[in-house]
Amino acid sequence: MDGKFISFEGPDGAGKTSVIQQIQEDLEQQLGKEAVKYIREPGGSRISEEIRQLLFDNQNADMDPRTEALLFAASRRQVVVSEIIPALKAGKTILCDRYVDSSIAYQGAGRGLGEQEIWQINQFAIDGLMPDLTIYLDIESELGLQRIAEHRANQVNRLDKEKLAFHQTVRQSYLRLQQRHPARIKLIDASQPLPTVINDVKTTIHDRFSELF
Ligand SMILES: Nc1ncnc2c1ncn2[C@@H]1O[C@H](COP(=O)(O)OP(=O)(O)OP(=O)(O)O)[C@@H](O)[C@H]1O
Ligand SMILES: [Mg+2]
């Protein structure tokens, strides 16, 4: 497949969505609108967005953790088949707001289901399709939660409400993943001002794909 698959990872409030918005705009300038595809996870396709609604519905606070993990994997499966693979075949650059690493960190570590177990159900879902490059936006949990509280208080969802310890566990899992897969996962200090973070991300993307930026 000719396309480029870039995922963005990091704890809540790290700045993934903010960074991707700018990266998408700049890449569209360079490559043309059709050459770039943004996907948010869970979601990104019709069926996957329906699964997303189930996952984030505040009425579903009693959802079983394994149900939750399977729904994330199911949403991912659908978006891989219906959106990601076709876009890669068409040579597009995919900017994916979360992917498998999120499940390992949140469900595997955060919910205590086991990183290995979550990796296995996700293998079934993605059938080997991993990103070429993963941008990991690293941030102290307190600062990430503070950003969400300050800027998005009206949009806090069910999973944002988990306590600080949960977020710290998630971050530690991300850091382990980065250490285990240093060639794929690149760490960016997301506590910096947004323009600096964006610049670091662009440099990192360019290091991997010299034709971008
Ligand atoms: N580098 C930064 N410095 C200060 N504020 C930032 C920075 N990056 C993002 N923000 C602000 O923090 C808030 C969270 O950012 P954003 O929604 O991009 O994070 P996210 O990683 O996508 O979070 P989530 O995982 O919850 O989707 C936003 O209001 C954004 O404006
Ligand atoms: Mg986001």
pLDDT of residue 77: 98
Question: Under 8 Å CB-to-CB from 13, ≥6 apart: which residues?
Answer: 139, 143, 144, 145, 146, 147, 148
Q: Which two tokens stand for residue 190?
A: 């997301």
The finding on whether 151 has its CB within 6 A of some atom of ligand 1 is: yes
Q: Which two tokens stand for residue 120?
A: 């296995």
Judge whether 184 and 204 are in contact, CB under 8 Å: no
Going by pLDDT thresholds of 50, 70 and 90, the confidence category of residue 146 is: confident
pLDDT at 157 over 80: no
Ion ligand 2: residues, CB within 5 A, are 16-17
Going by pLDDT thresholds of 50, 70 and 90, the confidence category of residue 21 is: very high
Q: Which ligand is nearest to the CA of 189?
A: 1
Mean confidence (pLDDT) of the chain: 95
Going by pLDDT thresholds of 50, 70 and 90, the confidence category of residue 160 is: low
Q: DSSP secondary structure string, 3-67?
A: SEEEEEE-STTSSHHHHHHHHHHHHHHHH-GGGEEEEESS-SSHHHHHHHHHHH-GGGTT--HHH
pLDDT of residue 203: 98
Domain boundaries, the chain: 4-208
Judge whether 6 and 130 are in contact, CB under 8 Å: no
Going by pLDDT thresholds of 50, 70 and 90, the confidence category of residue 150 is: confident
Going by pLDDT thresholds of 50, 70 and 90, the confidence category of residue 108 is: very high
Judge whether 6 and 134 are in contact, CB under 8 Å: yes
Judge whether 8 and 19 are in contact, CB under 8 Å: yes
CATH class of domain segment(s) 4-208? alpha beta
Going by pLDDT thresholds of 50, 70 and 90, the confidence category of residue 161 is: low
Query: Which atom in ligand 1 lies closest to the alpha carbon of residue 150?
Result: 29
The finding on whether 161 has its CB within 6 A of some atom of ligand 1 is: no
Query: Which atom in ligand 1 lies closest to the alpha carbon of residue 190?
Result: 1
The finding on whether 40 has its CB within 6 A of some atom of ligand 1 is: no
Judge whether 138 and 174 are in contact, CB under 8 Å: yes
